[in-house]
Amino acid sequence: MVYFVRNGQTEWDELDMVSGHKDIMLNDNGINQACNLSDILSLCNIERIISSDLKRARQTAEIINSKICKDIVLDSRLRGYNYGVLEGYFRGKIESSTWYILKKYPDILSAESNIEIYDRIKSFFEQTDLSNNTIVVTHGGTLRMILYYLENKNHYDDKLYKKNYQKNDICHGQYIMFDGENVIYPKINIKSLH
């Protein structure tokens, strides 16, 4: 079983700011979310932990690992979307024309395209042993692309991604499971623990 975890909440998440590759820490709520995940995932006979190298994911992985005690492998391919010059802006203050440019011409904003995200996720899956019980700690947008990859493998279709995956939101401090064939959404509310 592979457990794909979204990093805990940060202050920027709480303020609805674009974070992407900005390297920011968890806030108190994010730390609590990671502690709750540690309680749950420590019961799952975990063999490996792989994490994005960004602080908020790494910190989430380290807190989860406090009860598991495995080496954490850092992998930059698990980073969040690179939003380029939009990082640090409040989402609600970004004009719709700018979002359009981001979606159609991301290089103008020094940002990543969906296909670039897909390519790094595909590379991660092709080059990483995810056998046994593994935790993978990543970010919201990257987790959506992982879901797309798990269900569509070697074919990226931007229309399909935008229609079926782009709006899918796994909350901060939540996780999904993959048994090698099926994606499983646990019926547990992390916020209700502790």
Q: Which whole number is the average pLDDT over 21-36?
A: 96
pTM for this entry: 0.92
- Domain holding 103, by residue range, is 2-185
Residue 193 lies in a domain: no
- Taking the CB of residue 61, how many other CB atoms lie within 10 A of it? 26
190 lies in a domain?
Answer: no
pLDDT of amino acid 170: 84
Residue 83 lies in a domain: yes
Q: What is the CATH number of the domain that holds 134?
A: 3.40.50.1240
Instruction: Look at the chain and count its residues.
Output: 194
Q: Say if 146 falls within a structural domain.
A: yes
Per-residue pLDDT tens for 66-95? 999 999 999 999 999 999 999 999 999 999
Name the domain count of the chain. Answer: 1
CA distances from 100 to 82, 114, 145, 161 (A): 16, 13, 19, 16
Over pLDDT 70: what percentage of the chain?
A: 96
Say which residue, 194 or 87, is predicted with more confidence.
87
Residue 191 lies in a domain: no
Cα separation, 182 vs 150, whole angstroms: 8
Residue 31 has pLDDT above 90, yes or no: yes
In the structure, what pLDDT confidence band is assigned to residue 194 with cuts at 50, 70 and 90?
very low
pLDDT of res. 155: 86
- Establish if 192 belongs to a structural domain: no
Would 157 be classed as within a structural domain? Answer: yes
Residue 189 above 70 pLDDT? no
Within a domain: 194: no
